[in-house]
Amino acid sequence: MKQREVRLAKAIKSRRLIRRKLKLKKELIRLKGVSKTYGDKTVLDDLDLTIHENEFVTLLGPSGCGKTTTLRMIAGFETPDQGSVWFDGKDITNLPPNQRQLNTVFQNYALFTHMNVADNIAFGLNIRKKEKSYIKDKVDYALKLVGLEGYGRRSVTNLSGGQQQRVAIARAIVNEPKVLLLDEPLAALDLKLRQDMQYELIRLKNELGITFIYVTHDQQEALTMSDTIVVMNQGYIQQMGSPEKIYNEPENAFVADFIGDSNLFPAVFLRDERIAIDGVEFACVDKGFGKNRPVDIVIRPEDVEITEPEKGTVTGVVTDLIFKGVHYEMCIDVNGREWVAHSTRPHAVDERVGITIDPFNIQVMNKPESEDEQAAELEA
């Protein structure tokens, strides 16, 4: 068996194990037919979503897609116009936020500047009138979890952005919620600190054993941290699955274009395992799309193999070359269509090159079936 086929078999096995594990987990949150309208704008349209216990779920999509509204529905800050929200088998649609077993970490942290770190973390426990010794133990434990031991007496105004973020997380987890909701909590941090905090959140989730629901528009963040990604656009769920499935097997053009870089082309599905791009025939592994049927295809830039011109399935001319650190990004003009390729070996601008594609690296997708679907993809 070829090395590529071995890798594919392992990936398929891994995805099946992930699905099997999720099926065994208890259903914790469910949104049933939830709709929400602000004025004449429909933000959520008959949305159904199930989240399991101890899952790290990321709601991912562009601004205005409905992801933050979904989070606020779960938190209790918004009430659906239609549908219901269920938690641990109980309808909590009209339950106020302070009676739900969850806590929220906001983008702006919402810390109390007149309180020190320990008092900020202890705020919820004091409201619940817990004993002082209990509060101290809980605060000390929370500080240790987020790597801020010894910071209890410091003013939050003297902390860095990353440290303030950790205080906000500690304040949320000290109350032992079943669910932690995070609304773009890393958006204000610089790149290096944001990456460090991503790994910290993964560690916390694994150590605490609670469910994380995370909102972001950052694709890399979602791919790095999530057990499950929910890709949203215009109030609809476009696709839901593991990061591997979302990236390698996008179900439509919007998902393919939104998650990572991609070459997204119209094509013709000639017959099983054969497609045509701009009249040139390529081998693929997909079946069941009919014969001579218009489809969309996605090819990731890292899967575009650059060869000598005479060895390529198609040939083109390099029009742009950009160094990206770990690879070079090249734009290649192939008879008027731009292909994007990533490679560790650069090819000079104006150089003629060949392109070949492994059949396993061509993902075939159905074209939008309705005008609404087509509009959603065009607007994205």
Interval 234-276: pLDDT, tens? 999 999 999 999 998 999 989 998 988 899 999 999 999 999 9
Beta bridge partners of 281: 276
Strand-strand pairing, 102-105 and 179-183: parallel
SS3 162: helix
Residue 66 region, left (φ>0) first, then alpha (ψ -120 to 50), else beta? left
Domain 3-101+177-248: give its CATH code: 3.40.50.300
pTM, rounded to two decimals: 0.81
Interval 284-334: pLDDT, tens? 999 999 999 999 999 999 999 999 999 999 999 999 999 998 899 999 999
Per-state percent for the chain, helix, strand, coil, to nearest 5:
35, 35, 35
CA–CA separation, 206 and 203 (whole Å): 5
* Vertex 209 angle, CA 201 and 69, to 5°: 60
> pLDDT band for position 371 (50/70/90)?
very low
- Strands in 328-334's sheet, in edge-to-edge order, are 305-307, 352-356, 314-323, 328-334, 337-343
Interval 205-245: pLDDT, tens? 888 889 999 999 989 899 989 999 999 999 999 999 999 99
The torsion angles phi and psi of 106, rounded to 5 degrees, stand at -95, 165
User: Domain coordinates of the chain in residue numbers?
Assistant: 3-101+177-248, 261-370
Residue whose entry in the numeric block shows the structure tokens 């773009």: 184
CA–CA separation, 110 and 103 (whole Å): 13
Domain 261-370: give its CATH code: 2.40.50.140
Interval 353-368: pLDDT, tens? 999 999 999 999 998 7
- Mean pLDDT of all residues belonging to the chain: 88
- Model pLDDT, residue 362: 96
- What is the average pLDDT across 151-166? 88
Would the pLDDT of 377 be above 50? no
Contact 287, 362 (CB under 8 A): no
Q: What is the 3-state secondary structure (H, E, C) of 113-154?
A: CCCEHHHHHHHHHHHCCCCHHHHHHHHHHHHHHCCCCCCCCC
Would the pLDDT of 6 be above 80? no
- Model pLDDT, residue 21: 54
> pLDDT band for position 369 (50/70/90)?
low
CA–CA separation, 323 and 344 (whole Å): 9
- Model pLDDT, residue 367: 84
Interval 69-109: pLDDT, tens? 999 999 999 999 999 999 999 999 999 998 998 988 887 77
The helix (H) or strand (E) run that includes residue 233 is strand 228-233
- Model pLDDT, residue 266: 95
- What is the average pLDDT across 102-128? 87
